[in-house]
Structure formats: structure tokens, C-alpha cells
Chain A
Amino acid sequence: MADKRLPAVGASAAASLGAAFALVFFYAPIDADQGFVQKIFYLHVPLGIVALGGFIAGGVMGLCFLRTGNRIWDLRSYVAIHLSLILAIGVLATGSIWARASWGHWWVWSEPMLVSFLIVFLLYCCYQPLRFAIEEPERQARTAAAFAVMAGAFVPVNFVAVRLAETVTHPRVLSATGGQMPGAMRVTFLACLAAMVLLYVVLWRLELARKSAAIELKRLRRRERPIPSSSPAVMPRAAAG
């Protein structure tokens, strides 16, 4: 996708998100059990699915970097994880609001779904400090990719383990019982999920474009103002140790 097409795709993502939210409030019926507060589900669940999917995608991209050594995969992995982390903040916030309305508590520590998502979130909070604690670019990229692969593999394992847990009060959406949504609710949920995926792709492309431009700018600056050869930043690898 060329950078020039980004505004058009961004506009279509915004339009599809607007259409999906219109379906939520004007088309989907009010849930007989939870009432109006169930409308949060159409935002919270797609956000969660896309955030976790983004973490897994970041792991796959990290694996591609480890296999090929091409730095673009490292950059893609970094951006995917960064964006997923931001969406994960949205998942935690909207989930807490729903929990307060439905359960009367902002957070329930005995609920495996909540705690497991928090663990995944905190795990990925370590990604950036770990990455930027390493100065040598090649080592930084390899360490970050290894982290992304391991954490990315942990996400589905964690998800399955939580679903096997017994004491759960958190609603199950994609299960034999929870998945039996009425047609209008299912259509609305799928529209919200599609819009959220499109939004993620657009934001990922936007941040990737920004990061690529910033790297290009740094290269240009170095070419314009070469750093003196005595500086450790340009020391040959053998001399650097």
C-alpha cells in the first residue's frame, strides 16, 4: 500500500467505524439480560481481539526478522506491538467501565479473563524498556524480535488456558453458548470487528510510515553532518569490541 493511499484508506476506516457504531445504537437490539450496557460489548470485544491479534502478528513479524535478517520486519513488529499496547489500554478501560456497570466493581481479581489480560498487557509493557535498553542496533533488533516471538506465543496459550478455567463470570463471546447471538447482534458485532481490523491496519501503516520517514531523516542528517571518526557511534564493529 502506497503512502499516498493512506488518507483514502484512513477515511474509509473512519467511515466504517462510524457505520459500525451506528449499527450498535440504531440496529442492534437491546440485550434482554444486561440491558443497554451490553452496547459496550461491541467496542470492548473487537478491541480485545484486534489487540491480541496484533501482539501475535508482532511475534510473527519478529520471527520473519529472525529468519531473514531484514530490518523492515523488526520495524513492522515494533509498530504492531506498540499499537496493540495502546489498544490494550482501551480494552482495560472499556472492560473496567463495563464491569462497574454489570458487576458493581471496576476490577475483579478473582476473574481469570481480566487478570490474564492484565498479565499480557504488563508483559508487553516490558517490550519498549527492554528494546531501548540495548544501544547496539543489531542486538537491539534481535533481542526485541526474540521477545516478540516468545510473548506472541504466550498470548494464544494464555487465552486457551483461561477458557479452560472453571470459575468464570466474564461472559464468553466466541463459545458454544455465548456465540449464539441473534442475527442483528451478530451482524453488528462482525461489522464492529471488521471496522476495528481496518482501523488497526490504517494506524499501523501510518505509524510505520512515520517511523520509516524518521529513520530516513536520521540517515540524511548523518550524511549532511558526518560524525567525527573518533566518535564511538561510528567506530568499526571490530574496534568497538
Chain B
Amino acid sequence: MPALPLGDAGAYVAAAYITFMVLLVVYVSVMARNVTRVRQELRRLTEEREREESR
């Protein structure tokens, strides 16, 4: 096939790079959400333990 004109090719190139960026952002945000949840839970457990020790 002959090379696509710049206008048509640009849409495909943009689609490829946007797909990659979306995949990356989704992955990192899922990881960040999980890390936040684990940290909150750890903080809660630590506070619970401190409360029990102070009694």
C-alpha cells in the first residue's frame, strides 16, 4: 500500500499514542488508588493498636 497522506496518517499515529497513554494512566491510577487504600488501612490499624496500648 502507498504511504497515507499526513492527515490520515496523523489520526492513526495519534490513536496509537493516545491508546498507550490511556493504558498507562489507567494502570497508574488503579495502582495509586490501591496504595492509598492500603495506607489508610495501615494507619487505621496502627491507631487502633495505639489506642489499645494506651488503655
Q: Which residues of A contact B (CB under 8 A)?
A: 21, 31, 33-37, 39-40, 43-44, 47, 86, 89-90, 93-94, 97-98, 100-104, 199, 203, 206-207, 209-210, 213-214, 216-217, 220-221, 224
Q: Are A213 and B4 in contact (CB-based, < 8 A)?
A: no
Give A100 to B38 CA distance when docked, in angstroms. 42
Residues of A within 8 A of B41 (CB): 217
Do residues A221 and B3 form an inter-chain contact, with CB atoms below 8 A?
Answer: no
Contact A220 B31 (CB under 8 A): no
Interface size class of B (residues with CB under 8 A): 20 to 34
Inside 8 A of A36's CB, which chain B residues have their CB? 3-4, 6, 9-10, 13
Tell me whether A35 and B20 are in contact (CB under 8 A).
Answer: no
Shortest distance from the beta carbon of A104 to any chain B beta carbon, whole Å: 6
9 inter-chain pairs at a CB distance below 8 angstroms, sorted by A residue, are A35-B9, A36-B4, A36-B9, A86-B23, A90-B19, A102-B1, A210-B31, A214-B38, A217-B41
Whether A97 and B12, one on each chain, are in contact in the complex, defined by CB atoms closer than 8 angstroms, is yes
> Main SS of the interface on chain B?
helix
Q: Are A89 and B13 in contact (CB under 8 A)?
A: no
The answer to whether A98 and B38 touch (CB under 8 A), given A37-B4, A93-B19, A217-B45, is no
Inter-chain contact B45/A35, CB cutoff 8 Å: no
CA distance A217 to B34 in the complex (A): 12
Q: Which chain A residue shows the least CB distance to B38?
A: A213
CB-based nearest A residue for B2: A35
Residue B55 is within 8 A (CB to CB) of chain A in the complex: no
Bound: A86/B7 CA distance, A: 30
If A86-B27, A210-B31, A213-B38 touch, whether A101 touches B49 (CB-CB below 8 Å) is no
Please name all residues of chain A whose beta carbon is closer than 8 Å to the beta carbon of B3 when the two chains form the complex: 31, 33-37
Which residues of B sit under 8 angstroms from A102, Cβ to Cβ?
1
Q: CB-CB < 8 A to A94: which residues of B?
A: 16, 19-20
In chain B between 15 and 43, which residues have their CB closer than 8 angstroms to a CB of chain A? Answer: 15-17, 19-20, 23-24, 27-28, 31, 34-35, 38-39, 41-42
Cross-chain contact B12 with A37 (CB below 8 angstroms) = yes
Contact of A98 among B6, B12, B23 (CB under 8 A): B12
> Taking the complex as formed, is B53 at the interface, i.e. its CB lies under 8 A from any CB of chain A?
no
- Interfacial chain B residues near A93, Cβ < 8 Å: 16, 19-20, 23
Contacts of B50 in A (CB 8 A): none
Chain A residues lying within 8 Å of B17, measured Cβ to Cβ, are 21, 40, 43
Contact B35 A44 (CB under 8 A): no
Alpha-carbon separation in the docked complex, A201 to B54 (Å): 43
By a CB distance below 8 angstroms, the chain B residues around A31 are 3
Q: Complex: how many Å from CA A214 to CA B28?
A: 17
